Amino acid sequence: MVAGFRRARKGGVAVTFGADDERWLRHVLGEMLELLEPPDGADSVGGSEDPLAAAVGIGTSTTAPEDPALARLFPDGYTEDPEASADFRRYTEPGLRAAKRAALQTALSTLSSDPVVLDDEEAESWLRALNDTRLVLGERLGVTEELDELLDSLAAGDPEDPRLAMFWVYDRLTYLEESLVQALSGGS
């Protein structure tokens, strides 16, 4: 049976993962944590070469990341005004990146419990971590509104295509996110 989140008797939400689920989740969330490392430490709060910027938490990056998956997580704030977009990025990206990493770290640190029982704050962190991971994986896979067509073309192709395993992970993340949303909203 596939594990999904449910309301816990004593409050919060709970899920029990098998060893295989815990292993792939730990791997995927760990990869996300690495992906969200500040580039060369330049945008980490306190890691900027500009001492004033570091003191007030302003980043040095002024353009969207070249990696389309990261650009999906850190899009331009103003598409019509490059200067405003650059300023917006300098002021927001370091904090956003840190918050996304903190959510992933919370998910990883609570993953080993059996069952995993989360308070509301931890559940919100899990929700952000699952969503961000799905967004990155979806971008890497080329997921669009034509998902069924993409899956059909993959199914008709090479059965050893590594994207098939990635779609399995994407599907599992989608299920976990949906079950967590339902559990948080009082369902199951």
The two three-digit tokens of residue 165, written as one number: 């395993």
φ, ψ for residue 110, nearest 5 deg: -95, -5
180 HSE (CA, 13 A, CB side): 25
Lowest-confidence pick of 2-16, 31-45, 92-106, 157-171: 31-45
pTM over 0.95: no
Tokens 């998956």, residue located: 69
Domain that holds residue 154: 6-184
Cα–Cα distance for residue pair 17/80, rounded to 1 Å: 45
166 and 174 in contact (C-beta within 8 Å)?
Answer: no
How far lies 47's CA from each of 19, 44, 57, 97, 138, in Å?
37, 5, 9, 13, 30
The two three-digit tokens of residue 71, written as one number: 């650009």
Residue 1 lies in a domain: no
What dihedral angle (degrees, nearest 10) is formed by the CA atoms of 14, 18, 20, 21? -20
Average pLDDT of the segment spanning 53-82: 83
115 Cβ contact list (under 8 Å, min separation 6): 14, 15, 16
Percent of the residues in the chain that have a pLDDT greater than 90, as a whole number: 53
Q: Compute the mean pLDDT over every residue in the chain, rounded to the nearest whole number.
A: 86
Structural domains in the chain (count): 1
Residue 161 lies in a domain: yes
Tens of pLDDT, residue by residue over 2-45, are 689 999 988 899 999 999 999 999 999 999 999 999 876 544 44
